[in-house]
Structure 1
């Protein structure tokens, strides 16, 4: 069934997720998970299984005061593996233990920070701006997230419009009338997808909403024609797809690129290099910026220690190391810094 996506429908989708977070509802499990707790050497280890995913958290035997909750994104994107690298350097140079949780990413993570369910999270700089200023997305309209604070920017979040060679989709205009996965409901990916499709003049299409990994499966199975994936290249889910399929990245260039950049101030020129995902030539596109955020309730000393652990140990990271540095960590920062981060960066 083909439908025209209008702003009212988009608002309903994103608002349902975001407003639930803003209302202060207690975050909880969905009842289908299993938690196992063991104690050894004064430490408590909790393993939780939910929806086929497993999260392990270790707490020191001091009442859990050194445990930090870090919300990432889908397991097929860049946020999740990068957050686990941050976990390693933080735990290696501080007394904190870190629980990394897979989530629906930016918009969901803002709600978790607002409620205090997350201590730190990765989000997009455009979503951070919308949330802090109570604008842009209906979930935040008139409901600014006043306790949202910045820590550091990290790397360009590249907009991938992914398809396969046998779909016949080669240009943005070819997306009209197609079935498109725009990302998880309420995610930053969905926000970007809707802005970009509108800017490109694509208003008539079938919409699907899942995370990166599920979208990859949908492409392989022929259930969708294209998917939006936002993340620093190379995105794991797309690499896996390219191992068995002929991946095409729909180019956003020329007048199309200018139209997208004119739709919002957060988009910048970007390019996916040749060789990535098996591409024979570079794919022009646009990007936003990934960043670390926290909330105002985090102690200054905690934020300063976490920030120092990451940026004093960038040489221990393996993901996006061409972009992550102390010198560039305020490029594109769209909200006020937390005092603890300010103390580190000076």
Structure 2
């Protein structure tokens, strides 16, 4: 079991992720690409980010464009990599990761620079926020004093989970940073009491890794209604997870969703951003027909007014 960590400790550590180099992958991953190769950082290979990126890679090959899809731990690592390495122009990230960094940017100049340089290339799809627990846990408030996995360190899930636990005033006994498969196994073996996972629905890993006999359920999730919640209501929308989305989830559940984006950083060179944006915009119907089902939920016109100030100048109208 990981060393016991408090929520403030975890948040400090997550913020540190965007200021230190990653050593999870061979250094060749970050080598300068050939002129026709465009690198795209995604997420865990079992997740939807990686899957939709592989669809883009396949589409690109049909259009004489070479896209190199790189698996990562997720949104936070993607932010770090796109900012740090000129050879990596594109990544996928959750909208609340950018907002969270903006909140805390005043505390760290490096983080502030990274947050302010972020630019949206295209909106993708909404991701649902899952809090999965054994049925002995009845509500999100029951997680105070419990052991909770907030997702792999460096993932967008870890940031979302930390944000919501803080906002809801929930103080777990211990936080651990497990990837989704390890988290499910730990929950099944009573090593943790619940896990967070942020993903588009239905998620293959939740279909494949959990069975009714596990006796798990998705906890209802909502934000408190206060006069100060305008910021959070712009980030998170209320959604209902329909009954039987998974074989082990037979009742509808109210939860929250967050928008995902293809992103880059502010740069005068659009040569590796514009071609990918145009490729997706011009071939969205092909992706919806031939790719991951998440493509059917992509609406390229869903940007909110606050998102427009973040748009990359490399994206043609």
Q: Give the TM-score, by structure 2 length.
A: 0.83
Of Structure 1 and Structure 2, the greater strand share is in 1
Q: CA deviation at 1:330?
A: 6.3
Distance 1:140 1:229, change over 3 A: farther
Q: CA deviation at 1:241?
A: 2.5
Distance 1:73 1:248, change over 3 A: same
Aligned to 2:138: 170
- Say if 1:152 and 1:333, in contact at 8 Å, map to a contact too: no
Q: 1:185 aligns with which of 142, 153, 160?
A: 153
Q: Describe the SS at the equivalent of 2:68.
A: strand
Q: CA deviation at 1:171?
A: 0.9
Aligned to 1:324: 298
Q: 1:82 aligns with which of 52, 55, 77?
A: 52
Aligned to 1:225: 193
Of Structure 1 and Structure 2, the greater helix share is in 2
Q: List gaps (5 residues or longer) in structure 2.
A: none
Larger radius of gyration: 1
Q: Describe the SS at the equivalent of 1:173.
A: helix
Q: CA RMSD in A?
A: 3.2
Q: Describe the SS at the equivalent of 1:271.
A: strand
Q: 1:296 aligns with which of 266, 270, 276?
A: 266
Aligned to 1:103: 72
1:258-273 pair list within 5 angstroms = 258=225, 264=232, 265-273=234-242
C-alpha distance in 2, partners of 1:240/1:258? 36
Q: List gaps (5 residues or longer) in structure 1.
A: 22-26, 36-47, 49-58
Q: Give the TM-score, by structure 1 length.
A: 0.77
C-alpha distance in 1, partners of 2:129/2:118? 24
Q: Describe the SS at the equivalent of 2:278.
A: helix
Question: Does 2:285 align with 1:315?
Answer: yes
Q: Describe the SS at the equivalent of 2:261.
A: strand
Distance 1:132 1:15, change over 3 A: closer
- Say if 1:157 and 1:289, in contact at 8 Å, map to a contact too: yes
Deviations 1:240-269 (A, max 9, x none): 23336333000114xx55479567341221
Q: Describe the SS at the equivalent of 2:207.
A: helix
- Say if 1:4 and 1:204, in contact at 8 Å, map to a contact too: no
Q: Aligned residue pairs: how many?
A: 306
Aligned to 1:14: 14
- Say if 2:11 and 2:162, in contact at 8 Å, map to a contact too: no
Distance 1:194 1:130, change over 3 A: closer
Distance 1:85 1:136, change over 3 A: farther
Q: CA deviation at 1:209?
A: 0.3
Q: Describe the SS at the equivalent of 1:121.
A: strand
- Say if 1:77 and 1:231, in contact at 8 Å, map to a contact too: yes
Q: CA deviation at 1:312?
A: 1.9
